[in-house]
Each structure stands twice: as structure tokens, then as C-alpha cells.
Structure 1
């Protein structure tokens, strides 16, 4: 058995170096993000304030993604990743300096998150293309499973480690760990990873607007890929509203708190881990589209509903497990479909257009989720008379409004899945041969 597994991953040494060190750096960044959510909610107690942290990260990412892909295709991928990661680490270092002098405020974090998001605009397409350059086509499925596995480990470990380090040394200690993991990833990228150059890097330089236009034209001519991206954009709207409302729910309700938030996130990561291990070892499915659709429908119809109606940690954790168990299979099969249908020399610019379309709903979702919790749902629940039907369903006191929002998100997510399940263009992706 082990010989078969070894054979499936033979020849992927450079990929493993890049994957493992970048995953370690992602763990450090996720720890900082978790600690900042807890810190900011402790300071202001507002779902909108914490949600704005993510809005500032995603806004430049969405606004400039189309052009960043055009530039990323031209630039050396390794140098691009190193420069962008270094700039993001500098922002984290600035946050540590401000914290050490007692001057760190939410305004600083908004600005630093915006700069980090800008760097991620260029780093992400370079990283995606780097994987395609290091991995043969026949090993895409295994590699996608490994990437899902590392994401799951980050989700599992980040809240546990962040909570422990935060309790022991505060926000400054968490940021210091983040900077240490960056140093390891940067050293590996400088010394142990070499990427072949693409035709876009060595060939004639086209105008940036023309290269960006090529990504848009590709999607217009490949409607299955376009519809799949729009489907994920709609799902991201629901998911980002979920992320904005989750701290307000778990940090406010009886039986909640920082430990509860960490445990729910840990359960999500454990479910991700199990699902990722299964994807890494399982053969390719007969229908990738069916896996994507089924996984998201199951996730949306379970987690949000249990978070909405649950009254304690066991139910919240169960919802988290059910909601995230199938997500690695969705991500892996989505990744394979895109890599098979987008030529490698086009991936940087097409992925950047994808990022703009697929992720523009995330800042909108964070804004909407925070605003709905603070300005609509919580006041609505507070105005209800005792023993009203809404109180019987969602409870009383602070956090009941967030529970009401989760009930709405369950319906929104299921409706989105059923709507896009009818798209013939998406299903046609399985009927066309992969691009060579």
C-alpha cells in the first residue's frame, strides 16, 4: 500500500518543499488573523468592526486582480511570491511595533490589512501557476488533495495555537510566531525552489490591458468555467456573511466565549482534515461537477441551520463538522477542473479574472453580515416580546440576532446551490476533453 502511495507522489520533491513551507507560513498568518478577531471584538464588541478587517484585505485584491494576473504572467513567479510575502510580513512587523508602543488601533489594522491584501493580489496567481509548473498533469488530483489537506491542518491548528499563544503572551506573541514562519518560507523559496520560465515571461511583452482582456475573452468563450466561477462567487457571499456573524454568535451567547470560538473553528479544521485525507488517497471521481454541487448543498443545508437553532457547544461543533467535512472534495475537484480547462500559459491572467469575479462578493458579504447583525437582527430580536416565536427559535439576549441571520444564510445557501445546479454549461465541462 505504501509503495503505491509513494509511486503516486514520485517526482514531486520541489513541490513538497514549496507546499510545506508556504503552508507553515499560512499557519502563522491564520494565527494572527484569529487573534486579531478576538482582540478587536474584545475592544469594540461589534461584528461590523471585525468584519471590516476582512473587507480591507479583500477590497484591493478584488479591485486589482484582473491587472495583477497580467503582470504576474510576465514576472518571475518565485521572485513575485518572495517580494509579496516580504511586504506582507513587513505589515505584520508594523502591527507588532505599534502594539509594543501601545498605539495599535483598528484604523492601523485596516490600513495594514489593505496593504497585505494588495500584495496577495499578485502573490496568489503566481502561487497557483507555480503549482502547475512543478506538477505533471496526471498528478493534479493528488496535489489538489494535498493542498486541501494543508488548508485543513491550518484551520485545525490556527485557533488552538493562537488561543494558547494569545493567552500566554498576548497578541504580540502571536505576531512574533507569524513572522518566524514567514522567515522559514522565505528561506525555502530563495534556496530550494526553482521554477521553469513560462512563454509569457520569455516571449514578447504585450500591453497590460491587452493581457488582462485575454483573460476576460477566455472566460467569455468558456461559459462552463465562467458559470462555475459565478457559482462560487454566490457561495462566497453566504460564506463571508457567515464569517462576519460567527464571532458575534459564539462570543456573545451563554456557553460561548473565546474557547467556544476556538473549538468550533478546530472542529471545522478536523472535519477538513478528514475530508482532505480522503481526497488525497481516493481515486478521481466519475463526475467532478456532481461532487462540487453535492458537497456545497450538504454544507449549506447543515451547518448554518445547526448554528442558528443550537443552544450549546455540542450542537455548534456538530454543525461545524457537517459543514466542513465535504469542502475539501469540492475544492480539490474545482481546482482540477480549472487546471484541466485553462492552458498553463493563460492561467495567471485567467485566475486573476477568476479572483476578481469569484471573490468580489466576499467584502460585500462581510459588510452585509456585520451590518445585518449589528443594525437589523440584534435590534429586531431585542424588540421581541417575551416568549415570542423568534425567541423560542433563536433564544434571547445578545447573540440571538446572529442566530437569526444564520437561519437566513441556510436558506440562501441552499437556494444558490439549487439554482446553479441547473446550469448546463457547468455540466458540459465533463463532456469536453481537457485542453492541451
Structure 2
């Protein structure tokens, strides 16, 4: 047993180095993102204001990801990651300078998030392909579990550290910590991580950009099950992004809520995903990954939103967060294994880039619609309710009650959206040809 453990560590050594340092950098980035959301909401008190931060990040990511695949498949993945991360660090430094001089405004963050989103169109698919290049196929599920584990740890630790630093030291020190994590990860990637270069199984180096885009889309059209799985996740992302648009405004506004409570709910989500990540790392491969994906998402959509809608205390909100997130790592790991096993590594850059556009285009839409509906529809609706009305008795009164009502609506939407895909025959056919 110990011998097998040592052999596994040796086979995954380079991946583990990259994984650990990139996770550390992700911690700093997550802390800054959360701190800036709190800062932006305190400036304007608007759900749409904070939602626009994410919209600006995902807008260019969705629009241009589909064109990045050819570039990623043809060029050095390590250089792409280094360049993209360096650009993000420069943007963070710019925010720090503006903040230190008292000139930071929300519109600065919109521009910076847009630029970061543009660079992420290269960084994220390049990192995904790098993981495939560094990982033997037999370790795909274990590696997916480890990546989910690190994301979970970040989700647990980031709210605690971010709110603590924000409260006791200020936003500047949150950003400084982010920069420290970046330089650590950058140095390790530059000097200690060698990502293999892969030779293509066909000559595509003369492809035009449009031909490359067509290659990725043609592959998905041919592999209809993978396409339908991606579209299913796009539907889920729409509901999840509306959830994210509503969470901070509700918890920062409601009686009994605040920065600490928001941090506790986010930490509960992180602990839940941590438990789910450990579980999926230890579990053997399931008989049907598709069934696992469908069941996990149905459970998540059918629990958390309703508990957040009806709950009025932090323990209840935390319970909803745990139920909503505990099976997400299990879903993510199984989807990751399906994609890595099915898509040839020489095509992954182009296919993942097309996937990013198709799967994530609903996220900015969800944030935008969620922010508008909360500010313009649900909060005004609850403000007009007279004392003793049914809605006030169920969802409470005051600012944040509209967001609670909105959680009830998206809970119904999310649960119903899972059902049609259970009868999609193309999804079930994926496993017939996946190894």
C-alpha cells in the first residue's frame, strides 16, 4: 500500500507542485474578489452594482473564449499561463495604487475585470490542458478530486481571511496578500514546473482562426452527448449566477446579516465542498457518471435556494449552503473525467474553448438579470407590502426580503430545469464510448 502511495506521488509530482502553488495564488485572488464585492456594495448598496463586477469578468471570457482554442493548442501552455497571470497581477497592482491614493472608483473595477476576463480566455483552457499533459489517465478522477479539494479549501479560508484583513487592516492588505500569493506561484511555475509539449495528430498549424473555431464546434456537434452535457451546465449556471447575484445583497442587508454572516455562509459552502472533494477523491469510479452528475445537481438545486429563501438566521443559511454545495465536487469531478477521457489531448484547447463559451455564456446573463430583478422588481415589491401580508410573513420585511423571495423563485426554476435532461438519450450514450 505504501509502495503504491509512493508510486502515485512520483507519477503526480509535477502536477502536485503546480496544483499547490496555483491553489495558493487562487486563495489570494478569491480574497481580493470578495473584498471588492463588499467594498462595491458598501459604496452603492445595489445588487446590480456588485453583479456588474462579475458580468464584466465573464462577458469577454464568454465572447472570446471560442477563438482562443487554436492559439492554446499551438503554443506553449506554460508561457500562456505565465503571461496571463502576470497581466492579472499588473491589474491588481493598479487597483492598489488607485486605492492608496483615494482615487479608486467602481468604474475602474469594471474596466479591470473586463481586461482580466479577456486574459482568462487563454489562461483557463491552457491550465486545463496542462493538467491533462501532467496527469496519467488512470489518475484523472483523483486529480479532479484534488483540484476540487483545493477549490473547497479556498472557499473555506478566503472569506475568513478576507473579512478579517478587511476589518482589521483594510482593503489594501487584502490586495497585498493577493500579490504575495501571485509572486510565489509565478516563481514556482517559471523555474520548477515543466509542462510537456504535445505533437498534434494532424497538421492544423495552417488553420485560420475561423477554421479552428469550426474544428472545436464540429467536434461538439459530432459528440452530441458532450454538447448536451455542456448545455445542461449552461442552464445550471444561469440559475447559479442569479443565486450569486442575490447572496451578498441579501446577507449584507437583512436583519441579523452582515459581513461576518456573509463570510460564515461562504465558509459553510467551502466546508461542504471540502467534504465532497475528500469523498470523491476516495470513492471508486461510479457505474454511471452521468447519473451521478444529474442526481447531484438536482439535489443541489432543490435544497439550498429554498432554505435561503425561508431562513432568517445564520445557522439556517449555513445549513442551506452545506446542502447546496456538498455534492458539487462529486458532480464536477465526474464531468471532468468524462471530458478528459473522451476529448483527445490535441483537441482539448479548441474544444475546451468552445465549451467555455457555450457553458458559461449564461453566467453574465444570470448576474445581470438577477441584479435587475432584485433592485427593480423583488425589493420594490416587498417594500410595498402592507403589515400582515402573506409575503411579509413568509420572507420577512426590510431590505433583503426581496432577495429572499427571489431565492424562492430561482429554487423552483433550478429544480425544474434539471428534469428534462434526465430523458436526454444523447447524455446516456456518452458512457457507451468513454473509457
TM-score interval, smaller chain: over 0.9
Q: Give the corresponding residue for 1:47.
A: 47
Q: CA deviation at 1:282?
A: 1.4
Q: Give the corresponding residue for 2:188.
A: 188
Q: Give the corresponding residue for 1:278.
A: 279
Q: Give the corresponding residue for 1:128.
A: 128
Q: Give the corresponding residue for 1:292.
A: 293
Mark the CA change 1:201 to 1:32 in structure 2 (over 3 Å): closer, same or farther: farther
Between 8-17 and 341-350, report the one with greater CA deviation. 8-17
Q: Give the corresponding residue for 1:230.
A: 231
Q: CA deviation at 1:386?
A: 1.3
Q: Give the corresponding residue for 2:379.
A: 378
Structure 1 unaligned runs (5+)?
none
Mark the CA change 1:2 to 1:167 in structure 2 (over 3 Å): closer, same or farther: farther
Q: Give the corresponding residue for 2:245.
A: 244
Q: What are the within-5 Å matches in structure 2 for residues 144-159 of structure 1?
A: 144-159=144-159
Q: What are the within-5 Å matches in structure 2 for residues 380-419 of structure 1?
A: 380-419=381-420
Q: CA deviation at 1:244?
A: 0.5
CA distance in 2, matches of 1:9, 1:395: 53
Q: CA deviation at 1:385?
A: 1.6
CA distance in 2, matches of 1:375, 1:162: 30
Q: Deviations over 1:365-392 (max 9, x none)?
A: 0001110100000001111121111111
Q: Give the corresponding residue for 1:309.
A: 310
Q: Deviations over 1:324-371 (max 9, x none)?
A: 000000000000001111110000000000000000000000001110
CA distance in 2, matches of 1:201, 1:46: 51
3-state DSSP of counterpart to 1:91: helix
CA distance in 2, matches of 1:364, 1:432: 34
Q: CA deviation at 1:205?
A: 3.3
Aligned length in residues: 434
Q: Give the corresponding residue for 2:325.
A: 324
Q: Give the corresponding residue for 1:27.
A: 27
CA distance in 2, matches of 1:420, 1:404: 27
CA distance in 2, matches of 1:200, 1:73: 8
Q: What are the within-5 Å matches in structure 2 for residues 103-142 of structure 1?
A: 103-142=103-142
CA distance in 1, matches of 2:56, 2:330: 29
CA distance in 2, matches of 1:263, 1:213: 45
Contact kept? 1:87, 1:116, Cα under 8 Å: yes
Q: CA deviation at 1:35?
A: 0.2
CA distance in 1, matches of 2:46, 2:2: 50
CA distance in 2, matches of 1:172, 1:224: 47
CA distance in 2, matches of 1:202, 1:96: 46
Contact kept? 2:155, 2:269, Cα under 8 Å: yes
Contact kept? 1:75, 1:201, Cα under 8 Å: no
CA distance in 2, matches of 1:202, 1:53: 41
Q: Give the corresponding residue for 2:64.
A: 64
TM-score scaled by length of structure 2: 0.98
Contact kept? 1:61, 1:117, Cα under 8 Å: yes
RMSD of Structure 2 on Structure 1 (CA): 1.3
Q: Give the corresponding residue for 2:211.
A: 210
Q: CA deviation at 1:3?
A: 5.3
CA distance in 2, matches of 1:202, 1:86: 32
CA distance in 1, matches of 2:417, 2:26: 30
> Residue 82 in 1 paired to residue 72 in 2?
no
Q: CA deviation at 1:196?
A: 1.4
CA distance in 1, matches of 2:422, 2:5: 34
CA distance in 2, matches of 1:213, 1:332: 28
Contact kept? 1:134, 1:195, Cα under 8 Å: yes
CA distance in 1, matches of 2:411, 2:237: 13
Q: Give the corresponding residue for 2:360.
A: 359
CA distance in 2, matches of 1:171, 1:274: 30
TM-score scaled by length of structure 1: 0.98
CA distance in 2, matches of 1:8, 1:283: 16
Q: CA deviation at 1:2?
A: 5.5
3-state DSSP of counterpart to 2:253: coil
CA distance in 2, matches of 1:2, 1:119: 42
